[in-house]
Amino acid sequence: MEKIYQELLNEAKKISKNTYSPYSNFPVGACVLYENGNKYLGCNVENASYGLALCAERNAISSAISNGEKSKIKAVAIYSPKQKRCMPCGACRQWLSEFALNGHDTKIILEDDDDKLLILTLDEIFPFGFKFDEK
Ligand code: THU
């Protein structure tokens, strides 16, 4: 599994090079792995109107949904060359939770010091998230 997670992080690294982030100078890449094995990539895209920036994770999930993905998110790797342990923002945690595995066992893969992997679960970093019970 560790090898698969390392591959996800490598893909997140690669896609972070496509960033459009001239305002923050903070590139981010994300690679989302679904239960069925499909993978989708995203990078952050900023705008002169700063608040309109799109995060890498949400871009990757948007790409998945646009491509007809119906499976659940098994893992997501997030990478920034500017920061180790680049954690998903609150909005991205909420987005991930919408498509996460039951029990939020979805793995969050980050680069730690010494190029090691830090592996967390969505449940650990996003307990008590909002749910729409009427669905
Ligand atoms: N960013 C992401 O892409 N993902 C996150 O989870 C946190 C922040 C981006 C948004 C913005 O382009 C830059 O990082 C600095 O906030």
Positive/negative CA dihedral, 102, 61, 41, 21: negative
- The whole-number pLDDT of residue 135 equals 58
**The ligand 1 atom nearest the CA atom of 57:** 4
CB atoms within 10 A of CB 43: 23
- Tell me, in angstroms, the distance from the centre of ligand 1 to residue 43's CA: 9
- Which residues approach ligand 1 with their CB closer than 6 A? 21, 24, 26, 28, 44, 46, 53, 55-57, 88-89, 92
Nearest to 25 by CA among 49, 42, 46: 46
Catalytic sites, residue numbers: 57
Planar angle of CA 126, 18, 81, nearest 5 degrees: 60
pTM: 0.96
Q: Identify the pLDDT of residue 104.
A: 83
Per-residue pLDDT of the chain (135 residues; tens, 9 = 90+): 889 999 999 999 999 999 999 999 999 999 999 999 999 999 999 999 999 999 999 999 999 999 999 999 999 999 999 999 999 999 999 999 999 998 889 999 999 999 899 999 999 999 999 988 875
